[in-house]
């Protein structure tokens, strides 16, 4: 395999687990981070030590010029074969009647606009319509798009609802151009995202309420992402794979 995979937000959590698994399978991984430079450097070092190729790029998905730079740097590794739109943020728990325009703009710019712009960069490289050889896009949704996250973060849930619709629409738009587009919708997964939303105890609190009795791991989500990136899922496009322990 000589294909390049771009993963947004690869330094920690689910993105990190995807980068590790993809590199083991032979993908040359170009991943982004924003703040966690040490974690990003540690990951590229770990992949290189295992004989793989990884490039860490500081690139904020909320900044269009950063996205262009991320893909330019990925071009240096070889032809693009896949994109994982993983980077995403939550915010502090709040009701809708307490949400500011600044909060909503940050949420939707990062989680939705960033995914659209990254997909545009990928389609321009991978689509047979543009002379590319085809490829795969996997978007990170959430069961929040179904649950709505009332009293917590309806804005985040709505951003993931947009990702679901984006997945359907883009999949149909490029189905005849050699590109498959799917999403993974995780449930409660053990990563730093809960602490970044001001709820470090979220997993301990909600884990036992999941039908399977526990939160999931980043590796369990990465396994589904990797399946969707692989030829094992060659007839799947426009689908959303839920990885939620029944939640």
Query: What are the catalytic residues?
Result: 156
Query: Interface mask (CB under 6 A) for ligand NAP, residues 121-140, using x and -?
Result: -------------------x
Q: Chain-centre distance of CA 210, in angstroms? A: 23
Q: What order of strands is seen across the sheet that includes strand 240-243?
A: 54-58, 28-33, 4-7, 80-85, 135-140, 179-186, 240-243
Which lies closer to ligand NAP via its Cβ, residue 36 or residue 137? 36
3-state secondary structure of 224: helix
User: What minimum distance in Å lies between the beta carbon of 35 and ligand NAP?
Assistant: 4
Residues that bind ligand NAP (rule: CB under 6 A) add up to a total of 31
The interface with ligand NAP within residues 29-58 (CB under 6 A) comprises: 32-36, 39
Q: Which of 8, 145, 152, 182 forms a contact with ligand NAP (CB under 6 A)?
A: 8
In Å, how far from its chain's centre is CA 54?
Answer: 17
Contact between 186 and ligand NAP by CB under 6 A: the answer reads: yes
User: CA angle, corner 119, sides to 45 and 228, nearest 5?
Assistant: 70
How many CB atoms are closer than 10 A to CB 76? 10
As measured in angstroms, the least distance from the Cβ of 109 to ligand NAP is 8
DSSP designation for 199: -
- The binding site for ligand NAP (CB under 6 A) comprises 8-15, 32-36, 39, 60-62, 86-89, 110, 140, 142, 186, 188-189, 191-193, 196
């Amino acid at each position: 395999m000589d294909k390049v995979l771009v993963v947004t937000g690869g330094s920690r959590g689910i993105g990190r687990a995807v980068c590790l698994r993809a590199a083991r399978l032979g993908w040359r991984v170009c991943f982004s981070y924003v703040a966690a430079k040490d974690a990003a450097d540690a990951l590229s070092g770990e992949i290189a030590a295992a004989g793989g190729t990884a490039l860490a790029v500081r690139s904020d998905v909320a900044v269009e010029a950063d996205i262009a730079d991320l893909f330019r740097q990925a071009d240096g590794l070889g032809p693009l074969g896949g994109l994982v739109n993983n980077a995403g943020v939550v915010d502090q728990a709040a009701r809708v009647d307490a949400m500011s325009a600044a909060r909503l703009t940050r949420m939707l710019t990062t989680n939705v606009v960033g995914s659209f712009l990254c997909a545009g960069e990928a389609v321009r490289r991978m689509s047979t319509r543009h002379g590319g050889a085809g490829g795969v896009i996997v978007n990170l949704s959430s069961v929040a798009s179904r649950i709505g996250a009332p009293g917590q973060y309806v804005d985040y849930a709505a951003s993931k609802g947009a990702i679901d619709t984006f997945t359907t629409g883009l999949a149909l738009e490029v189905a005849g151009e050699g590109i498959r587009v799917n999403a993974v919708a995780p449930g409660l997964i053990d990563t730093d995202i809960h602490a970044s939303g001001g709820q470090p105890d979220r997993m301990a609190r909600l884990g036992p309420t999941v039908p399977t009795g526990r939160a999931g791991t980043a590796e369990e989500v990465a396994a589904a992402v990797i399946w969707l990136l692989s030829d094992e899922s060659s007839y799947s496009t426009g689908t959303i794979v839920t990885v939620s322990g029944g939640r």
